[in-house]
Amino acid sequence: MRYRKPSLKTLLGVTSAKKKIKKDLGIYEITKVLNAPKNAKRRVKRSVGYESEPMKIFRFIQRLFK
């Protein structure tokens, strides 16, 4: 179930055309390597529970009293 309506660019096919061009040029292969450290860091944080709702609330409260 979609939670929002598609954009005009998506309806016209602009988004898929841009994605196809990037895939054909091999840009995604380069960004996959460049973003690997950030993705690994995010995966570790998620597995530890850093991005869970209780931790988000805790960090928010901690910022208030800083």
| CA–CA dist 36, 27 (Å, integer) | 14
- In Å, how far are 8, 11, 49, 59, 62 from 46, measured between CA atoms? 33, 34, 5, 15, 20
Residue 65 has pLDDT above 70, yes or no: yes
| Confidence category of residue 42, pLDDT binned at 50, 70, 90 | very high
Amino acid 4: pLDDT: 83
| CA–CA dist 17, 24 (Å, integer) | 11
- State mean pLDDT over 2-31: 93
| Confidence category of residue 2, pLDDT binned at 50, 70, 90 | low
pTM exceeding 0.85:
no
Mean of all residue pLDDT scores within the chain: 92
